[in-house]
């Protein structure tokens, strides 16, 4: 039952990560719905929903008959959205409460994060 993060959002996350890491640059075309669906082994409807979401957030835009392209300010928008989610959306508070319950100290957290960054 436990329904995990929806597939279409997982794909959106991946695309955003790709954009942040400049694998897709501003005004560059991203793969078509069909390509992504084939590559990710999902229904085309699922990818369409991903694109809808990203377009609504101004991260990608459509050139009729040509496909979807990365917005000029995609990086800023992604960062901004994530920042909002993180700070105001309660994600951070939730994480901190988990960390506290697990008995993790600030120093311990710092160490874990350093480990992560140096991977």
Please state the closest distance from residue 47 (CB atom) to DNA, in A.
Answer: 8
Could you say whether residue 56 binds DNA (CB under 7 A)? no
Contact partner, 76, from a second copy, DNA, none, Cβ < 5-8 Å per class: none
Q: Is residue 117 involved in binding DNA (CB under 7 A)?
A: no
- The structure tokens listed for 88 are 């105001």
Fill in the DSSP letter of residue 6. Answer: -
Within 73-105, residue ranges assigned H as helices are 74-87, 91-101
Counting contacts by CB under 7 A, is residue 3 touching DNA?
yes
Q: Does 102 bind DNA (CB under 7 A)?
A: no
- Residue among 81, 48, 55 nearest 69 (CA): 55
């Amino acid at each position: 039952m436990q329904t995990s993060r929806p597939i279409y959002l997982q794909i959106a996350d991946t695309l955003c990560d790709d954009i942040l890491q400049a694998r897709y640059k501003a005004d560059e075309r991203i793969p078509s719905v069909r390509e992504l669906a084939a590559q990710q082994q999902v229904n085309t409807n699922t990818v369409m929903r991903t694109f809808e979401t990203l377009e609504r957030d101004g991260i990608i835009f459509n050139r009729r008959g040509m496909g979807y392209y990365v917005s000029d300010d995609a990086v800023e928008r992604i960062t901004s959205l994530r920042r909002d989610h993180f700070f105001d959306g309660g994600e951070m508070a939730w994480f901190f409460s988990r960390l506290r319950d697990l008995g993790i100290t600030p120093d311990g957290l710092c160490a874990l994060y350093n480990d992560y960054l140096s991977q």
